[in-house]
Amino acid sequence: MLDTIVLNNIRAYGYTGLLPEERTLGQWFAVDVRLELCLEKAGQTDDIRDTLDYRGVIDQIKNTIRTERFLLLERLAQVLTQQVLAFPLVQAVTLRVTKVAPPIPDFTGQISIELHRGKVQVQS
């Protein structure tokens, strides 16, 4: 059974969107991440080397949102999910990326994409 680290409301300003003004002017994004991994050793040793230093996950997400440009929110979510899965201890991730204030007339809500991905286990 895997344990969980949850990171909520990672906010960054980025340039993903279908409309030209989204890619030029940008907008705020928020990301929630649920990381599945084994935390048993860190719980016993109280040593950061035995767990995931989630500051790296936060930095990776913020940097990608700030520097990459995609047309679709789905693509941004996929890239972020793949990057988080690349952290060695992470076995699975559920990631939600939200456009905080999408430029849609007469719409004051938010739009989110949520993905769940796990590492592929290699059969020997």
In the annotation, is 99 catalytic?
yes
Contact between 119 and 85 under an 8 Å Cβ cutoff? The reply is: yes
State the pairing for strand pair 3-14/27-37.
antiparallel
CA dist 88 → 52, 65, 79, 111 (Å): 8, 22, 17, 30
Nearest to 16 by CA among 107, 103, 117, 105: 103
Marked catalytic residue, from 41, 62, 99, 119: 99
Other Cβ atoms closer than 10 A to 84: 25
The rounded radius of gyration (Å) of the Cα atoms in the chain is: 16
- Kindly list the catalytic residues: 99
